[in-house]
């Protein structure tokens, strides 16, 4: 080892060689993204790959080049495939090459955005500024990046709990209070989990039935609130959904906002999937009412196409938000000058102290493409979903299982053995995934198993939709011959 190198540094000894190796790694990822279409969406991990990857804690160094090759051969081919245009499962964004580069810059800087006086926090505040503008929230609204909408929904619930019981809830807990919250039967499971984590308990969450458009039934919501008040409980929180995970339904946000105002309840919107529809002039009007929410949770890693992870929480009452989380600590003392200046800090608005520079990839994404182009891309995914729904409706072997409000299409194959339809459609979805051309997932609607295609990826086009229809028909035919 070179004597002039400092102590135990982990930096390269030969920066020139490291630079060449870095460029090879970058080129490999650019090749991967450029050639996505030539690859399978997903392929099963061979058993020997899985077991062969296991090894004891490495004691000795390994050449970076060798590890790069291992990544290319053992890891990269066996990812979930959400970058691929044929991926339609769950609700996964595709990412962009721009987002990848921004992640590299952020990692190089290794900024910790918990707090302190630094420009990376100004980048996050700039994104917050854009988010306020997008949702018509006031300057006093607060917000920050979190892992995903699951955590963002949880944070919103905690702020609403402070609104209902005051800051003392942080010290005293719920005591004798019987808080009750409301969401629809179509809500994401993370709302239930948030109730559990907040100590309120999921038994105090009312799952309001859906109407035939898979939206929260407003009359049933009103009745549930009245029943709970009559029983001596304290209704405090409504979580409406803009884009349910099952079918992409948008709750009637304006009607729910009216009700929330009348009843003096906190209105939160789980916009994980759909809130960024505000970027699209044709979808934004259908989200009317979102600007009246007390808080909104959403994900830049879904429709926003930022690389994972990039959830966001926006809270109208920034001071209440801060009072829900801020804690004095000697080692986090604030100053008016020096590195510890410019308080409050992001760590005052959530449970995370150390935080990465998620804001940078979103700043790059919004600046590189611009809101208009991102909006068109979002609209485009909805147009593809409508095209898929039309193709399903025009194909006698297939049946549409839910109205298509946004970018999610649920359908099934009409197998002649209808008693076994759920099992056969689940098998069909697995075979499509294993086929490697298109990858939908499944859900269950009114007891019926649905093949579910969520068109989130900006790379997906009509040929992929056609491939989903064609592969479904050929796979189902093969199953019936077998």
Segment contacting ligand PLP by CB under 6 A, of 134-142, 241-249, 279-287, 389-397: 241-249
The minimum distance between CB 274 and ligand PLP, in angstroms, equals 7
Measured from the CB atom, is 185 or 332 closer to ligand PLP? 185
Q: Across the strands, what pairs with 238? A: 182, 267
Q: Indicate whether 149 belongs to the interface with ligand PLP (CB under 6 A).
A: yes
Element spanning 376, H or E: helix 358-393
Among 190, 221, 260, 314, contact with ligand PLP (rule: CB under 6 A): 190
| Coil, helix or strand at residue 180 | strand
Tokens 């959530």, residue? 350
Adjacency order of strands within the sheet including 205-208: 142-146, 311-315, 295-299, 266-270, 234-241, 179-184, 205-208
Q: Indicate whether 245 belongs to the interface with ligand PLP (CB under 6 A).
A: yes
Measured from the CB atom, is 115 or 350 closer to ligand PLP? 350
Task: Pick out residues in 298-317 that bind ligand PLP (CB under 6 A).
Answer: 299, 311
What's the Cα-to-Cα distance from 269 to each of 93, 193, 275, 293, 307, rounded to whole Å? 20, 16, 9, 7, 23
The minimum distance between CB 79 and ligand PLP, in angstroms, equals 17
State how far the Cα of 167 lies from the Cα of 172, in Å rounded to an integer. 9
Measured from the CB atom, is 115 or 311 closer to ligand PLP? 311
Q: Across the strands, what pairs with 85? A: none
Measured from the CB atom, is 113 or 149 closer to ligand PLP? 149
Among 160, 260, 273, 449, contact with ligand PLP (rule: CB under 6 A): 273
- Return the structure tokens found at 337: 């000058």
Q: Indicate whether 148 belongs to the interface with ligand PLP (CB under 6 A).
A: yes
Measured from the CB atom, is 186 or 346 closer to ligand PLP? 186
Measured from the CB atom, is 165 or 187 closer to ligand PLP? 187
The number of angstroms, rounded, from the C-alpha of 234 to the middle of its chain's C-alpha atoms is: 30
Q: Indicate whether 350 belongs to the interface with ligand PLP (CB under 6 A).
A: no
Q: Indicate whether 206 belongs to the interface with ligand PLP (CB under 6 A).
A: no
Q: Indicate whether 91 belongs to the interface with ligand PLP (CB under 6 A).
A: yes
Tell me which residues touch ligand PLP (CB under 6 A): 91, 148-150, 188, 190, 241, 243-245, 270, 272-273, 299, 311
């Amino acid at each position: 080892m070179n004597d002039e190198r400092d102590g135990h540094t982990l930096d390269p000894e030969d920066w020139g060689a490291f630079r060449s190796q870095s460029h090879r790694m970058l080129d490999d990822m650019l090749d991967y993204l450029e050639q996505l279409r030539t690859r399978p969406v997903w392929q099963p991990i061979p058993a020997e790959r899985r077991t062969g990857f296991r090894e004891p804690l490495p004691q000795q160094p390994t050449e970076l080049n060798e590890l790069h090759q291992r990544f290319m051969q053992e890891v990269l081919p066996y990812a979930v495939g959400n970058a691929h245009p044929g991926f339609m499962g769950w609700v996964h964004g595709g990412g962009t090459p721009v987002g990848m580069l921004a992640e590299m810059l952020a990692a190089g800087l290794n900024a910790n955005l918990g707090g302190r006086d630094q420009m990376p926090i100004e980048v996050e505040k700039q994104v917050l500024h854009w988010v306020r503008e997008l949702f018509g929230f006031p300057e006093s609204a607060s917000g920050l990046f979190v892992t995903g909408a699951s955590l963002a929904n949880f944070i919103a619930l905690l702020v609403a709990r402070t609104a209902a019981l005051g800051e003392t809830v942080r010290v005293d807990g719920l005591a004798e209070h019987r808080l009750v919250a409301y969401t629809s039967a179509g809500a994401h499971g993370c709302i239930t989990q948030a109730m559990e984590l907040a100590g309120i308990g999921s038994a105090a969450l009312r799952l309001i039935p859906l109407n035939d458009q898979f939206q929260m039934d407003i009359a049933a919501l009103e009745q549930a609130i009245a029943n709970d008040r009559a029983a001596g409980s304290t209704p405090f929180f409504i979580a409406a959904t803009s884009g349910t995970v099952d079918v992409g339904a948008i709750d009637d946000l304006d009607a729910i906002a009216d009700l929330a105002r009348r009843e003096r309840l906190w209105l939160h919107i789980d916009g994980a999937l759909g809130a960024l529809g505000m970027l699209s002039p044709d979808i934004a009007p259908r989200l009317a009412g979102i600007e009246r929410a007390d808080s909104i949770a959403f994900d830049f890693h879904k429709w926003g196409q930022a690389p994972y992870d990039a959830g966001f929480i926006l809270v109208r009452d920034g001071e209440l938000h801060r009072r829900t989380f801020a804690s004095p600590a000697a080692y986090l003392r604030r100053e008016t000058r020096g590195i510890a200046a410019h308080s409050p800090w992001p760590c005052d608005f959530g449970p995370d102290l150390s935080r990465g520079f998620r804001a940078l990839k979103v700043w790059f994404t919004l600046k590189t493409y611009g809101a208009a182009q991102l909006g068109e891309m979002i609209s485009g995914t909805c147009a593809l979903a409508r095209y898929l729904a039309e193709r399903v409706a025009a194909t006698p072997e297939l049946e549409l299982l839910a109205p298509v409000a946004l970018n999610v299409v649920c359908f099934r194959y009409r197998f002649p053995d209808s008693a076994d339809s759920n099992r056969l459609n689940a098998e069909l979805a697995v075979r499509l995934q294993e086929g490697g051309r298109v990858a939908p997932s499944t859900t269950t609607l009114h007891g019926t198993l649905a093949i579910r295609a969520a068109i989130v990826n900006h790379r997906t086009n009509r040929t992929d939709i056609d491939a989903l229809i064609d592969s479904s028909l050929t796979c189902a035919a093969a199953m019936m011959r077998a």
